[in-house]
């Protein structure tokens, strides 16, 4: 509409245009509205009066803007913004002109001095610098000053400096209702091995501990209101280097959840914890086809589903990703990485009832992974992607200890570090400690403190595929599928098996994932080593705008030891492996970057004792 600039010519033009607009849009200035357009009448000359409606300004342009606001041709905020812009630009122009004049005068004085020095003593000479030369000098210096001002950003008040423009902040907030509904018939004694392994060892002796081991809730429905909030920063460090940080909520240090249950963590409106969720350095080659990163970052492996990896899982370690278009419309990609899962405490050792004091050898646990695949685009909005990955989890299998004597829960044994320090549920466990029978434990009758470790090794092979059909763009039909097989699974390791309280202190016997029998005794092991998942999604690929939508439905089947339960989806079946069932859900955009999500997940145990749960999730999401 209207613009205020610096030059007198443009200000004059603005004034003329503005007055013309006023004359067209409103009655004549100083004339009552009800007389506008009436025949001209002779009026007596009266002494002019200054209106007290708005203080006048010595600046005609400001007065004009105030009048336009009064006539409702311009809002107060727009007028103030134009005045502020004019003042800023006028300030910069004055500074530039002042500097240019000063430098031009200095140049003229220097030229005079140089000419005087070149003349013989006694010579009388008057130096004259034409005005056109001075003007040219002023213009050149003004351009130089303005260029410097633009580069250093003081010519544009409010503009961020160059280094700040290379930092980007982002975040998201999610409010969730979570309902967990258990049918009748679930086993109330489903053992929570994670609670034992992350706390004090469990005394398996009925003589000294009549209490049952900790168990999962399998029969009491729960309703929870949960919150997730994350704030991150990405910084371009130039020359291909970048860094990132992100903090997030979470009621525990779980790797698969940043949810905070409202009313939890002390309740009574207690404050909640903030965790370091991401922190990494990244280097990208100029070709942008190879990226290396180290620290804690997003999953570097392509995974279209959450069969093996929970979608928000962070990876600690080092990874290199590469891609290359091998032929038109077909791009090959690959990923390799090494990730520490557990690092032995520097002072790890034992001090037990036999008065043995020693330090444990390192029992570090690692994940090594490699993936290769290709993406084929067969029209501008449709694509097929396929990949195969191999993962090697080193030292995650439980190890039997050397014979040891424990009298109290603080006593340790040599293999304690081989137990998992985070797990969900589903993997097969056996006892770790080879407890020696002597007088200290009443010859194996009491004080049998025990930890539990994973029976199997884990080297899963994962095949992933996704077909995106965009024939009805912006609406798509997406088919996702994934298959996993644990190539290191050994059924012979499960042994004949037993239950807690019968023969729990002999390492190497599977304690869970065993079939039931008619007489109630423990049956044979019926866990497995593979899993698969299929899903169909219809609608917008991403929910960004109002009225964007999509809907999905799928089925999941994941046997007990196909992969580590610690890193699998935490929502389906309330987390872990040894689960099968269907799921469905949808998303709808409520505004720009605000959307709602509804999901229903119905899961049942595959092996072992009966367990089933239905989960309803209703989310309100926003990102910025």
Assess contact for 397 and 457: CB atoms under 8 A. yes
User: Who contacts 450 (Cβ-Cβ below 8 Å, separation ≥6)?
Assistant: 201, 202, 203, 204, 431, 432, 433, 435, 504, 505
Which tens digit of pLDDT belongs to each residue from 481-499? Answer: 999 999 999 998 887 654 4
Instruction: Assess whether pLDDT exceeds 90 at residue 398.
Output: yes
Which tens digit of pLDDT belongs to each residue from 536-590? Answer: 999 999 999 999 999 999 999 999 999 999 999 999 999 999 999 999 999 999 9
Which tens digit of pLDDT belongs to each residue from 249-266? Answer: 998 889 999 999 999 877
Which tens digit of pLDDT belongs to each residue from 264-274? Answer: 877 788 888 99
Whole-prediction pTM value?
0.74
Collapsed DSSP state (helix, strand, coil) of residue 541: coil
Assess contact for 601 and 571: CB atoms under 8 A. yes
Looking at per-residue pLDDT, the higher value among 411 and 111 belongs to 411
Which tens digit of pLDDT belongs to each residue from 106-159? Answer: 766 766 665 555 555 555 555 566 777 777 878 888 788 777 776 666 656 666
Average pLDDT of the segment spanning 386-409: 92
CA–CA separation, 218 vs 496, rounded Å?
27
Q: What is the SS3 assignment for 200-211?
A: CCEECCCCCCCC
Q: Of 27-31, 494-498, 610-614, which one has max mean pLDDT?
A: 610-614
Peptide bond into 474 cis (omega under 30): yes
Assess contact for 373 and 322: CB atoms under 8 A. no
The reported pLDDT for the residue numbered 533 is 98
Helix axis angle, 60-70 to 76-118, nearest 10°: 170
Measured from the Cβ of residue 457, the count of other Cβ atoms closer than 10 Å reads 18
């Amino acid at each position: 509409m209207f613009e205020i600039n610096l030059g007198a010519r443009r200000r004059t033009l603005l004034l003329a245009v503005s007055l013309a607009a006023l004359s067209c849009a409103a009655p004549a200035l100083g004339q009552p509205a009800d007389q506008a357009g009436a025949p001209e009448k002779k009026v007596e000359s009266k002494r002019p009066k200054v209106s007290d409606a708005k203080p006048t300004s010595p600046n005609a342009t400001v007065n004009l803007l105030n009048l336009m606001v009064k006539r409702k041709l311009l809002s107060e905020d727009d007028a103030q913004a134009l005045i502020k812009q004019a003042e800023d630009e006028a300030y910069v122009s004055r500074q530039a002109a002042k500097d240019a004049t000063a430098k031009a005068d200095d140049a003229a004085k220097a030229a005079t001095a140089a000419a005087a020095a070149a003349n013989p003593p006694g010579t009388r000479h008057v130096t004259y610098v034409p005005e056109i030369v001075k003007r040219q000098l002023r213009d050149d210096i003004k351009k130089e000053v303005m260029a410097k001002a633009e580069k250093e950003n003081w010519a544009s008040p409010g503009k961020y400096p160059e280094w700040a423009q290379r930092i980007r902040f982002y975040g998201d907030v999610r409010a969730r209702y979570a309902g967990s509904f258990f049918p009748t018939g679930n086993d109330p004694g489903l053992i929570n091995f994670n609670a034992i392994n992350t706390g004090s060892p469990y005394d398996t002796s009925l003589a000294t501990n009549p209490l049952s081991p900790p168990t999962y809730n399998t029969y009491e429905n729960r309703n929870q209101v949960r919150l997730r909030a994350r704030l991150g920063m990405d910084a371009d460090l130039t020359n291909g280097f970048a860094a990132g940080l992100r903090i997030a909520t979470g009621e525990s240090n779980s790797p698969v959840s940043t949810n905070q249950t409202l009313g939890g963590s002390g309740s009574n409106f207690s404050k909640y914890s903030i965790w370091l969720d991401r922190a990494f350095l990244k280097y990208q080659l100029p070709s942008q086809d190879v990226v290396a990163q180290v620290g804690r970052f997003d999953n570097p492996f392509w995974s279209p589903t959450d069969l093996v990896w929970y979608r928000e899982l962070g990876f600690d370690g080092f990874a290199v990703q590469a891609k290359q278009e091998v032929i038109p419309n077909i791009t090959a990609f690959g990923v390799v990485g090494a990730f520490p899962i557990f690092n032995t405490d520097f002072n790890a050792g034992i001090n037990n009832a036999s008065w043995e004091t020693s330090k444990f050898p390192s029992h570090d646990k690692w994940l090594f992974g490699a993936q290769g695949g290709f993406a084929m685009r067969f029209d501008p909005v449709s694509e097929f992607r396929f990949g195969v990955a191999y993962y090697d989890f080193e030292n995650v299998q439980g190890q039997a200890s050397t014979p040891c004597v424990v009298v109290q829960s603080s006593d340790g044994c040599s293999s304690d570090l081989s137990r998992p320090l985070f797990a969900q549920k589903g993997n097969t466990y056996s006892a770790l400690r080879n407890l020696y029978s002597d007088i200290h434990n009443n010859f194996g009758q009491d004080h049998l403190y025990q930890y539990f470790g994973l029976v199997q090794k884990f080297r899963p092979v994962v095949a992933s595929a996704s077909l995106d059909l965009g024939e009805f763009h912006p609406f798509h039909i997406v088919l996702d599928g994934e298959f996993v097989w644990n190539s290191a699974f050994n059924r012979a390791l499960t042994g004949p098996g037993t239950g807690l309280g019968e023969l729990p202190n002999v390492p190497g016997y599977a304690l869970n994932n065993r079939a039931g029998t008619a007489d109630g005794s423990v049956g044979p092991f019926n866990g497995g080593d593979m899993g698969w998942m299929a899903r169909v999604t219809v609608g917008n690929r991403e929910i960004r705008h109002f009225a964007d939508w999509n809907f999905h439905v799928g089925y999941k089947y994941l046997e007990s030891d196909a992969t580590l339960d610690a890193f699998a989806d935490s929502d389906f079946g309330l987390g872990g492996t040894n689960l099968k069932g269907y799921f469905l859900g949808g998303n709808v955009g409520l505004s720009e970057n605000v959307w709602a999500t509804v999901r229903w997940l119905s899961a049942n145990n595959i092996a072992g004792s009966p367990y089933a749960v239905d989960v309803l999730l209703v989310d309100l999401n926003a990102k910025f």
